[in-house]
Amino acid sequence: MSQTTTLTQPAVPATIEDFMAQAIAMEFEAVERYQELADAMETHNNAEVAALFRKMSVIENKHAEQMLAEMGWSEIPPGTSAQRWEGFESAEVVAMDDIHYLMTPWHALQLALKAEQRAVRFFEALTEAAQSEPVRKAALELLEEEREHVELILGWLKKVPQPDSDWYEDPDPPRYDT
Protein backbone atom coordinates (compact mmCIF):
# COMPACT_ATOMS: atom_id res chain seq x y z
CA MET A 1 0.00 0.00 0.00
CA SER A 2 2.21 2.81 1.19
CA GLN A 3 5.87 2.77 0.39
CA THR A 4 8.42 4.40 2.55
CA THR A 5 10.73 6.46 0.44
CA THR A 6 13.51 8.40 1.96
CA LEU A 7 13.31 12.11 1.50
CA THR A 8 16.08 13.06 -0.83
CA GLN A 9 16.61 16.49 -2.27
CA PRO A 10 13.43 16.98 -4.30
CA ALA A 11 13.60 17.79 -7.98
CA VAL A 12 12.30 21.32 -7.95
CA PRO A 13 9.53 22.39 -10.31
CA ALA A 14 10.75 25.29 -12.43
CA THR A 15 7.60 27.41 -12.43
CA ILE A 16 5.43 28.66 -9.62
CA GLU A 17 2.43 26.99 -11.30
CA ASP A 18 4.09 23.61 -11.27
CA PHE A 19 5.28 24.14 -7.75
CA MET A 20 1.85 25.09 -6.42
CA ALA A 21 0.11 22.33 -8.38
CA GLN A 22 2.38 19.81 -6.70
CA ALA A 23 2.06 21.36 -3.28
CA ILE A 24 -1.74 21.50 -3.50
CA ALA A 25 -1.89 17.89 -4.66
CA MET A 26 0.20 16.98 -1.64
CA GLU A 27 -2.19 18.79 0.69
CA PHE A 28 -5.21 17.01 -0.77
CA GLU A 29 -3.39 13.72 -0.38
CA ALA A 30 -2.89 14.52 3.28
CA VAL A 31 -6.59 15.43 3.60
CA GLU A 32 -7.61 12.12 2.11
CA ARG A 33 -5.29 10.14 4.34
CA TYR A 34 -6.46 11.88 7.50
CA GLN A 35 -10.04 11.12 6.46
CA GLU A 36 -9.21 7.47 5.87
CA LEU A 37 -7.61 7.33 9.28
CA ALA A 38 -10.65 8.94 10.89
CA ASP A 39 -12.91 6.41 9.14
CA ALA A 40 -10.71 3.53 10.29
CA MET A 41 -10.83 4.76 13.88
CA GLU A 42 -14.62 5.12 13.72
CA THR A 43 -14.90 1.56 12.48
CA HIS A 44 -13.06 0.52 15.62
CA ASN A 45 -15.24 2.69 17.83
CA ASN A 46 -12.32 4.91 18.67
CA ALA A 47 -14.27 8.15 18.47
CA GLU A 48 -11.69 10.21 20.29
CA VAL A 49 -8.88 9.48 17.84
CA ALA A 50 -11.27 9.68 14.90
CA ALA A 51 -12.13 13.22 15.93
CA LEU A 52 -8.47 14.24 16.00
CA PHE A 53 -7.79 12.88 12.52
CA ARG A 54 -11.00 14.51 11.30
CA LYS A 55 -9.79 17.83 12.67
CA MET A 56 -6.46 17.50 10.87
CA SER A 57 -8.24 16.69 7.60
CA VAL A 58 -10.32 19.85 7.95
CA ILE A 59 -7.21 21.95 8.62
CA GLU A 60 -5.35 20.52 5.65
CA ASN A 61 -8.37 20.91 3.41
CA LYS A 62 -8.71 24.55 4.35
CA HIS A 63 -5.05 25.02 3.58
CA ALA A 64 -5.38 23.38 0.17
CA GLU A 65 -8.43 25.51 -0.70
CA GLN A 66 -6.53 28.60 0.37
CA MET A 67 -3.63 27.69 -1.89
CA LEU A 68 -6.01 27.17 -4.82
CA ALA A 69 -7.57 30.58 -4.17
CA GLU A 70 -4.15 32.21 -4.03
CA MET A 71 -3.41 30.89 -7.49
CA GLY A 72 -6.86 31.87 -8.74
CA TRP A 73 -7.61 28.23 -9.52
CA SER A 74 -10.79 26.29 -8.88
CA GLU A 75 -8.84 23.06 -9.20
CA ILE A 76 -5.34 21.91 -10.04
CA PRO A 77 -4.89 22.76 -13.72
CA PRO A 78 -4.36 19.68 -15.85
CA GLY A 79 -0.83 19.30 -17.16
CA THR A 80 0.85 21.17 -14.36
CA SER A 81 1.78 18.25 -12.22
CA ALA A 82 3.15 15.92 -14.87
CA GLN A 83 6.40 15.46 -13.03
CA ARG A 84 6.21 14.39 -9.44
CA TRP A 85 8.76 15.45 -6.92
CA GLU A 86 11.00 12.79 -5.61
CA GLY A 87 9.83 11.71 -2.17
CA PHE A 88 6.59 13.52 -2.89
CA GLU A 89 4.17 10.83 -1.81
CA SER A 90 5.64 10.30 1.59
CA ALA A 91 5.96 13.93 2.51
CA GLU A 92 2.84 14.74 4.50
CA VAL A 93 1.08 11.43 4.62
CA VAL A 94 0.57 9.16 7.60
CA ALA A 95 1.31 5.55 6.68
CA MET A 96 -1.73 3.30 7.01
CA ASP A 97 0.56 0.54 8.28
CA ASP A 98 1.30 2.58 11.39
CA ILE A 99 -2.32 2.47 12.50
CA HIS A 100 -3.46 0.25 15.33
CA TYR A 101 -7.12 0.01 16.25
CA LEU A 102 -6.45 0.45 19.94
CA MET A 103 -4.36 3.53 19.48
CA THR A 104 -4.93 6.38 21.84
CA PRO A 105 -5.11 10.09 20.97
CA TRP A 106 -1.46 10.24 22.02
CA HIS A 107 -0.49 7.68 19.36
CA ALA A 108 -2.61 9.33 16.71
CA LEU A 109 -0.98 12.66 17.46
CA GLN A 110 2.49 11.11 17.29
CA LEU A 111 1.71 9.88 13.78
CA ALA A 112 0.28 13.22 12.71
CA LEU A 113 3.32 14.93 14.22
CA LYS A 114 5.66 12.74 12.21
CA ALA A 115 3.76 13.49 8.99
CA GLU A 116 3.77 17.23 9.61
CA GLN A 117 7.46 17.22 10.55
CA ARG A 118 8.17 15.40 7.31
CA ALA A 119 6.31 18.15 5.47
CA VAL A 120 8.47 20.75 7.23
CA ARG A 121 11.68 18.99 6.20
CA PHE A 122 10.35 18.62 2.70
CA PHE A 123 9.67 22.33 2.26
CA GLU A 124 12.94 23.20 3.95
CA ALA A 125 14.73 21.20 1.29
CA LEU A 126 12.67 22.85 -1.43
CA THR A 127 13.42 26.30 -0.10
CA GLU A 128 17.11 25.59 -0.45
CA ALA A 129 16.80 23.91 -3.82
CA ALA A 130 14.49 26.46 -5.44
CA GLN A 131 15.88 27.95 -8.63
CA SER A 132 13.62 30.96 -8.80
CA GLU A 133 12.54 33.58 -6.31
CA PRO A 134 8.75 33.01 -6.63
CA VAL A 135 9.18 29.28 -6.02
CA ARG A 136 11.50 29.92 -3.09
CA LYS A 137 9.02 32.37 -1.54
CA ALA A 138 6.09 30.01 -2.00
CA ALA A 139 8.08 27.16 -0.46
CA LEU A 140 8.96 29.40 2.46
CA GLU A 141 5.30 30.26 3.06
CA LEU A 142 4.32 26.61 3.02
CA LEU A 143 7.18 25.83 5.33
CA GLU A 144 5.80 28.36 7.84
CA GLU A 145 2.33 26.87 7.50
CA GLU A 146 3.61 23.35 8.16
CA ARG A 147 5.58 24.57 11.15
CA GLU A 148 2.31 25.90 12.54
CA HIS A 149 0.72 22.48 12.07
CA VAL A 150 3.59 20.97 14.04
CA GLU A 151 3.09 23.51 16.84
CA LEU A 152 -0.64 22.82 16.86
CA ILE A 153 -0.11 19.09 17.28
CA LEU A 154 2.53 19.62 19.96
CA GLY A 155 -0.05 21.73 21.80
CA TRP A 156 -2.65 18.95 21.59
CA LEU A 157 -0.07 16.40 22.71
CA LYS A 158 0.44 18.30 25.95
CA LYS A 159 -3.23 17.84 26.74
CA VAL A 160 -3.53 14.10 26.25
CA PRO A 161 -2.25 11.48 28.69
CA GLN A 162 0.69 9.34 27.63
CA PRO A 163 -0.50 5.72 27.48
CA ASP A 164 0.94 2.85 29.52
CA SER A 165 3.32 0.51 27.78
CA ASP A 166 0.68 -2.26 27.67
CA TRP A 167 -1.89 -0.16 25.77
CA TYR A 168 -2.12 -2.70 22.93
CA GLU A 169 -3.37 -5.55 25.12
CA ASP A 170 -7.02 -5.87 24.31
CA PRO A 171 -9.03 -7.46 27.15
CA ASP A 172 -11.70 -8.36 24.61
CA PRO A 173 -9.91 -8.89 21.29
CA PRO A 174 -11.82 -8.91 18.00
CA ARG A 175 -12.30 -12.36 16.47
CA TYR A 176 -11.83 -13.14 12.83
CA ASP A 177 -13.27 -16.67 12.84
CA THR A 178 -15.06 -17.71 9.70
Residues that bind Zn ion (CB under 5 A): 116, 146, 149
In the complex, the smallest distance separating the C-beta of residue 136 from Zn ion, rounded to whole angstroms, is 19
Residue 84 or 114 having the CB closest to Zn ion: 114
In the complex, the smallest distance separating the C-beta of residue 110 from Zn ion, rounded to whole angstroms, is 15
Contact of 116 with 146, CB cutoff 8 Å: yes
For 35: left if phi > 0, alpha if psi spans -120 to 50, otherwise beta; the answer is alpha
Which residue's CB comes closest to Zn ion? 149
Residue 66 or 175 having the CB closest to Zn ion: 66
Residue 18 or 116 having the CB closest to Zn ion: 116
In the complex, the smallest distance separating the C-beta of residue 115 from Zn ion, rounded to whole angstroms, is 7
